[in-house]
């Protein structure tokens, strides 16, 4: 791969006014250092994607862009689309103007210094470089426990994800072009990227505490994210339901024979509690299984509608605008 490539860093931001300026300061330093070592081209940019924030996040992004358009760009989504969609919006916007891109959260939990190593791995010929947490020292016990349970459960359910890798990753332009072919509405990027293939490797770093502001991923969101990941990548739960139904049928046959024997031997006792318990158990199991099937039906519904996954309202980027104009002019010329 030719050195230096144009690096676009895509940073999704939702209500990040407290941390954004500090993030920008650190990224500015990182870009200066990478440029001085000719690791990235002068056209490289940081793209903040404003995911429908309710605070001053977009105003700050606009300020950063007008003060230093040679470093900071911004994308404004028309409404809150969620973390995964915000990342995808950034990636799809820059896929034709970058040589390589890195996605990272806005809260500086990921180690910016890992970017150097990621780029080195990229220049060695890797198309995807996963940022993997080597330790979870700063996470609370609860976060650590739930997060690790998440990866183990995902694996057990057949959705193969890179252990302890979130969305801090480098992707080459080639990988972005292929990612654009994945049209699914239910996004789970960390499951999709490994499916693209190409040469990949991991870079290890220590994940820090959030610099300011609060997590937008409370337990409730984490659980729904895990369910989304599993049901988007695996039909194992459906198979488990079939096995469960089969097991229950065998048990019921045994129970039937047993009750018949008890009746014949004449020692039958009217068993109210056992009847009630089995009704609740079977009813609960049935509802649970129906719920799982419903998850998949809901997904099919969303996919069939095929609504846009994000809507870009503004894109602040000089190079990008020039590029887009150039493309449309070429198309016009071709038409004539």
Q: Which of 4, 47, 51, 99 binds ligand UDP (CB under 6 A)?
A: 51
- Picked from Mg ion, ligand UDP, none, the partner binding residue 230 (CB below 5 to 8 A depending on kind) is none
- Which phi and psi angles does 84 have, rounded to 5°? -60, -40
Q: Is 46 in the site for ligand UDP (CB under 6 A)?
A: no
What residues between 72 and 111 interact with Mg ion by CB under 5 A?
105, 107, 109
Q: Which of 45, 65, 83, 169 binds ligand UDP (CB under 6 A)?
A: 83
**Region from 101-109, 129-137, 230-238, 255-263 binding ligand UDP, contact rule CB under 6 A:** 101-109
String of contacts with ligand UDP for each residue 294-333, x by CB under 6 A:
----------------------------------------
Least separation in angstroms between residue 215's CB and Mg ion is 6
Q: Is 107 in the site for ligand UDP (CB under 6 A)?
A: yes
Q: Of 16 and 111, which CB lies nearer to ligand UDP in the complex structure?
A: 16
Q: Is 139 in the site for ligand UDP (CB under 6 A)?
A: no
**Region from 7-15, 27-35, 157-165, 327-335 binding ligand UDP, contact rule CB under 6 A:** 7-15
- Picked from Mg ion, ligand UDP, none, the partner binding residue 48 (CB below 5 to 8 A depending on kind) is none
What residues between 190 and 249 interact with ligand UDP by CB under 6 A?
215-217
Q: Is 139 in the site for Mg ion (CB under 5 A)?
A: no
3-state secondary structure the chain: CCCCECEEEEEEECCCHHHHHHHHHHHHHHHHHHHHCCCECCCCEEEEEECCCCCCHHHHHHHHHHHCCCCEEEEEECCCCCHHHHHHHHHHHHCCCCCEEEECCCCCCCCCCHHHHHHHHHHCCCCEEEEEEEECCCCCHHHHHHHHHHHHHHHHCCCCCCCCEEEEEEEEHHHHHHHCCCCCCCCCHHHHHHHHCCCEEEEEEECCCCCCCCCCCCHHHHHHHHHHHHHHHCCHHHHHHHHHHHHHHHHHHHHHHHHHHHHHHCCCCCCHHHHHHHHHHHHHHHHHHHHHHHHHHHHHHHHHHCCCCCCEEEEECHHHHHHHHHHHHHHHHHHC
Instruction: With CA atoms as reference, report the closest residue to 122 among 40, 237, 234.
Output: 40
Least separation in angstroms between residue 217's CB and Mg ion is 7
Q: Is 14 in the site for ligand UDP (CB under 6 A)?
A: yes
Q: Is 91 in the site for ligand UDP (CB under 6 A)?
A: no
Q: Which of 24, 75, 106, 289 binds ligand UDP (CB under 6 A)?
A: 106
Q: Of 86 and 101, which CB lies nearer to ligand UDP in the complex structure?
A: 86
Residues that bind ligand UDP (CB under 6 A): 12-14, 16, 51, 80, 82-83, 86, 105-107, 109, 215-217
Residues that bind Mg ion (CB under 5 A): 105, 107, 109
């Amino acid at each position: 791969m030719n050195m230096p490539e144009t690096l676009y860093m895509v940073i999704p931001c939702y209500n990040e006014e407290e941390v954004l300026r500090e993030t920008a300061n650190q990224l500015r330093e990182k870009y200066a250092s990478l440029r001085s070592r000719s690791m990235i081209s002068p056209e490289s940019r940081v793209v903040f994607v404003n995911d429908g924030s309710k605070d001053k996040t977009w105003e700050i992004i606009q300020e950063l862009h007008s003060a230093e358009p040679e470093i900071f760009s911004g994308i404004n989504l028309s409404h809150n689309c969620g973390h995964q969609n915000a990342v995808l919006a950034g990636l799809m916007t820059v896929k034709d103007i970058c040589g390589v891109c890195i996605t990272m959260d806005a809260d500086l939990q990921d180690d910016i210094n890992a970017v150097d190593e990621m780029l080195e791995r990229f220049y060695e010929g890797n198309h995807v470089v996963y940022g993997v947490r080597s330790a979870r020292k700063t996470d609370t016990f609860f976060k650590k426990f739930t997060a690790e349970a998440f990866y183990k459960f995902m694996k057990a359910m057949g959705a193969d994800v890179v252990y302890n890798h979130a969305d801090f990753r480098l992707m080459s332009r080639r990988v972005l072009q292929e990612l654009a072919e994945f049209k699914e509405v239910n996004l789970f990027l960390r499951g999709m990227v490994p499916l693209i293939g190409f040469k990949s490797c991991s870079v290890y770093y220590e994940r820090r505490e959030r610099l300011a502001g609060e997590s937008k991923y409370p337990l409730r969101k984490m659980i729904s994210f895990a369910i989304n990941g599993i049901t988007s990548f695996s039909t194992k739960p459906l198979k488990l339901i079939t096995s469960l139904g089969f097991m229950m049928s065998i048990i019921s046959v045994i129970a039937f024979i047993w009750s018949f024997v008890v009746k014949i031997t004449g020692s039958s006792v009217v068993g109210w509690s056992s009847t009630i318990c089995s009704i609740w158990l079977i009813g609960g199991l049935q509802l649970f299984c129906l719920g799982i099937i419903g998850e998949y039906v809901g997904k099919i519904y969303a996919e069939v509608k095929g609504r846009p996954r994000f809507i870009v309202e503004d894109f602040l980027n000089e190079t990008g605008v020039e590029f887009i104009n150039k493309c449309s002019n070429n198309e016009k010329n071709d038409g004539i």
